[in-house]
Amino acid sequence: MLRQTGAFKSRHSMRRVLAIAACLAVVPVPAFADEFDATGTGSLGAADLTVDGQPSHSAPLAPCAVGSRPTNSTGQVVVGPATRFGPGNTGCRLNPDHTASVAIDGQNFDLRLLSRYGGPAIRISRFTATCDTTPDYGIRTRIGFTGVSGVSVPSNIPANYTVTIPGTAGDSRPMAVVVLNEVVSPPPDGTLAVNAMHIKVFPQGGPAQGDVVVGSVRCTP
């Protein structure tokens, strides 16, 4: 069962909430999977934006990977003119039972880009995401938010819950589409990836375009 609090508010309102979402996925794996360790990766997020014709880009922040880079961290990172990630940590570990665990913990995300065009500033005081493989080749995922403003979540949030931020008067194109608890369908190897939040800026065209991902984990049993 997924538990969240809050509701979508108008662009000029702000609501601070605690939100948690969890799910369990059981994915098929080859019969010989016992011979291999599980694996996983994580990052605090990434951004790829073009604002008034000027591109700005951030590769995945503080990436970790089971085996090659078990821990990572970063301080504040500013992307372009109006996107900021605060400090955070990531961890990717292989457990004694050959399962994998990935956890990310970030702070002070701030997207003010939409405010330039009459939209809300999207802020998150703290965001977390985890994925854990299980001995029976399942994957558990969990995301959490504290101190959200500009957009919020319903009391029960399903996977890929989508909120559309409308354009200004006279413009029918959405200013942004925000996907919460975004779950990427597993490919044949059973990998499951979850983004805590995915913001698609002016997806149908406008003065800015691009994507911002806040908190990302990926596990393979």
pLDDT per residue of the chain (221 residues) written in tens, 0 to 9: 333 333 222 233 333 445 667 666 555 554 444 457 899 999 999 999 999 889 999 999 999 999 999 999 999 999 988 999 999 999 999 999 999 999 999 999 999 999 999 999 999 999 999 999 999 989 999 999 999 999 977 767 789 999 999 998 777 889 999 999 999 876 677 899 999 999 999 999 999 999 999 999 999 99
The pLDDT of residue 1 is 30
The pLDDT of residue 189 is 78
120 Cβ neighbours under 8 A, 6+ residues apart: 11, 12, 14, 114, 149, 150, 151, 165
The pLDDT of residue 41 is 98
Q: Which two tokens stand for residue 202?
A: 């002016």
**66 neighbors 179 (Cβ within 8 angstroms):** no
The CA angle 150-216-64, to the nearest 5 degrees, is 135
- Return the CA Rg of the chain: 18
